[in-house]
């Protein structure tokens, strides 16, 4: 790695730390396109193509991007997870395309990259450092591992040992789970205008995206229609089957809980919402799927 390459990447990582401190996991794409200046030259961090190399870097990309999920529309490249790692699709079908060659060089030289995940169009989560740790021309994919920033460049001049491989596998799995939940939460809360669908609480720090059917269910897809924006109390009550939501969007409280007497929190936080109508998103396509609600409601009744 050249000194220029090293300095540019470190400055990119510093910028991402700053942006993350302000925007968390939801960084506007415009700021990533703006990037920073280095010795009088503009250095964007993201570009129109998934594998992106700014003009200042001679050979190796600075970032890879996974496009956001747009419901009802397939991603241009369907990146996936396998065996604890990310499988990132080649640019096109030619293994010798210059962008694929650039990632192959990053793998050989153990160069750290940034992986941008689209949350929704215009909003991205940044994960760094990531490393290309495998190449499969037959499947047209690279294998990507996430590492911790504390370990940047540690493998630059040596073979990654077993402990580092295990750490990266674990870090990659944890990151994928976090990104999945963060993206789902962002889309659901945005659809519900950042308020609880039961009590209308608008403090986003106290709001969560509740799954109607869980990830493990065949129909438990991470789409808005399988989610409801709920405050932490009502999310906990829903997951514990203290609250049920009927397919006609009416809230029901468990009978035994309705008969309890336990102070103002129970009275005003739960009992007063029995038989209340769920507050639905403006767009009907984002309303909870009634078949999902029915299946979940039957579980509530059985409990």
State residue 71's pLDDT score.
65
Which of 161, 189, 217 terminates a domain? The answer is 189
pLDDT tens string 225-239: 999 999 999 999 999
Q: Are residues 91 and 28 in the same domain?
A: yes
pLDDT tens string 102-140: 999 999 999 999 999 998 889 999 999 999 999 999 999
Q: Are residues 214 and 170 in the same domain?
A: no
Question: Which letter does DSSP use for residue 73 in this model?
Answer: B
Q: Is 239 exposed, middle or buried (0-12, 13-18, 19+ CB in 10 A)?
A: middle
Specify which residues 230 forms β-bridges with.
208
The distance of Cα 19 from the centroid of its chain, to the nearest Å, equals 16
Q: Are residues 175 and 203 in the same domain?
A: no
Give dist(CA 169, CA 151) in Å, integer.
14
Q: Are residues 212 and 138 in the same domain?
A: no
State residue 180's pLDDT score.
74
pLDDT tens string 189-221: 999 999 999 999 999 999 999 999 998 898 988
Give dist(CA 160, CA 163) in Å, integer.
8
Q: Are residues 45 and 90 in the same domain?
A: yes
């Amino acid at each position: 790695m050249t000194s220029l390459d090293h300095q540019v990447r470190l400055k990119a990582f510093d910028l991402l730390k700053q942006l993350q401190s302000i925007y968390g996991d939801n960084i506007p794409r415009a700021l990533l396109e703006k990037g920073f200046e280095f010795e009088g030259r503009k250095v964007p961090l993201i570009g129109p193509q998934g594998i992106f190399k700014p003009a200042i870097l001679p050979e190796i990309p600075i970032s890879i991007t996974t496009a956001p999920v747009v419901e009802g529309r397939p991603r241009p490249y369907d990146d996936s997870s396998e065996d604890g790692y990310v499988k990132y699709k080649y640019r096109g079908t030619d293994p010798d395309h210059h962008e694929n060659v650039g990632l192959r060089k990053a793998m050989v030289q153990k160069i750290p990259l940034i992986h941008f995940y689209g949350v929704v169009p215009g909003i991205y989560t940044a994960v760094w450092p990531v490393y290309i740790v495998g190449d499969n021309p037959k499947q047209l994919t690279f294998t990507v591992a996430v590492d911790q920033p504390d370990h940047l460049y540690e493998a630059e001049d040596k073979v990654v040992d077993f402990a580092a491989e295990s750490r990266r596998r674990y870090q990659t799995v944890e990151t994928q789970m976090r990104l999945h939940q963060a993206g789902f939460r962002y889309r659901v809360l945005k659809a519900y205008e950042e308020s609880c669908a039961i009590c209308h609480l608008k403090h986003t720090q106290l709001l969560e995206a509740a799954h109607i059917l869980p990830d493990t269910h065949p129909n438990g897809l991470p789409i808005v229609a399988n989610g409801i924006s709920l405050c932490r109390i009502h999310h906990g009550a829903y997951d514990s089957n203290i609250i049920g939501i009927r397919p006609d969007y009416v809230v029901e409280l468990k009978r035994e809980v309705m008969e309890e007497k336990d102070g103002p929190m129970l009275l005003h936080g739960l009992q007063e919402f029995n038989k209340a109508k769920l507050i639905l998103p403006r767009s009907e396509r984002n309303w909870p799927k009634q078949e999902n609600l029915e299946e979940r409601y039957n579980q509530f009744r059985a409990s």
